Amino acid sequence: MKKTISLAIGLFLFFNGTLLAGEGPSAEVSETLSQDKKNDKLYDGIGLGPEKLWRISPGFEHSTVFDSNVNREPRDHANHDVIMHFIPSVALSRIGSNFGILSDYEMDYQLYLRDSDQSSFNHRLNHKMWYKSDRLTAKVSEKFGWVKTYATTEQSERRTVIFNELNPEVIYRLTSKTSASAIYRNYLFHYKDSILRANSYVQNDIGGRVYYHATAKTDLFVQGSAIFTDYYESGPFDSNGFGIYGGAIGEVTDKILLTLKTGFEGREYDNKSINSFYNWVGEGALRYRLTSKTDATLMAKRGIEESVYQNTGWYEFNRVGLNFQYHVTHNIIAELGGSFQNNQYPRETAEGLVLKKRKDNLAIAETKLIWEPLHNLSLGLGYTLSNRISNFDEYDYIDHMAEASVSYKI
């Protein structure tokens, strides 16, 4: 039996903004590997103030997407639609020698031409601030969203959710080679739809790190955290746990950029009928420059995610992906990527008269072509194929998405 809904057909979109509830990359991986180009754009824009230290960068993006299976249903029930995205945005930045701030907001109005009930306004707001002195570094990042989307790979219906992830860290340099820090993560995931509101939760991770500065550009670390999950709308799915990790962050060589965090996690639920979790987890990304024009990025993540099934509480996922980026010319970029994910459940779940442990295999392949004919103006074409195979036939689906976009940001 499920907590509140009767269907849980998954969507798999690897490491992008539609994966919520902890399934996407951590803020650390995203910051290190995925935001290079976007953050460079924030340094452009219109200068403010007497020394032009503050920069404001407005922008607008439009895309049209054809989706062959909007509700991620089996082949004989698939419904297609054309979705138009209208995305105004604004970014504010100040980059100084000791202090910096980056902030950007975008509003995405999604217009569904066939099923207008699916149309929605979506809001995303990202902040990052830091302060550095000789020995002390303080930094904080925050990601907020009020969106209608596919909340997890377990579900197929688009739900309206509010999420907010706050990550402050204070680092003190002990010696030329070592530093210690206090870290905290607060993650809110709230369903606006009443049918799933009981699955809303807040997760708090509190801990510390010790860094070893192996080189000028590479840090090794060990970390310990206490993890508390509170289902504030219900209660029986609350849990307490811990995590012990090790990892590396930085530029290993001129060609290799690495982010790695792996270790062991344990979790006990207040509801003793839900299986405890004790296993190794990890996530990482490795970017390697194959040639002067070609980059390859390998990403992987293993962990658990909160489930909507009443008797399981969580499911385990393992995901791996590979992406290639090729600079055809100075203003044309081609991308090709693929990924695979496996979801496994610790206990049997019922679908009709069938009772067994659910297992899902999800795969995605995508290609993109981006052309920048003018500074800050980009045109794009993309195609994505998603396929899910489950041991419950009703959760199988195939989806084709084609997209054309235009974007201009000062």
pLDDT above 50 for 8? no
Q: What are phi and psi of 406, to 5 degrees?
A: -140, 140
List Cβ neighbours of 272 (8 Å cut-off, separation of 6 or more): none
Query: How many Å apart are CA 187 and CA 189, to the nearest integer?
Result: 7
State the CB neighbour count (10 A cutoff) for residue 116: 9
Residue 31 carries which DSSP code?
I
Structure-block tokens of residue 326: 């090729």
Binned at pLDDT 50, 70 and 90, residue 202 comes out as very high
pLDDT number for residue 150: 80
Q: Is 45 left (phi over 0), alpha (psi -120 to 50) or beta?
A: left
Residue 365 carries which DSSP code?
E
CA diameter of the chain:
71
Taking residues 225-254, report their average pLDDT. Answer: 92
pLDDT number for residue 100: 93
Exposed/middle/buried for 90, CB within 10 Å: 0-12, 13-18, 19+? middle
Give the ranges where 206-295 is alpha helix by DSSP (H). Answer: none
pLDDT number for residue 122: 97
Q: What is the pLDDT of residues 46-73, one digit of tens each?
A: 877 666 788 999 999 999 999 999 988 9
Domain regions of the chain by residue span:
27-287+347-359
Q: Kind and range of the H or E element at 75?
A: none
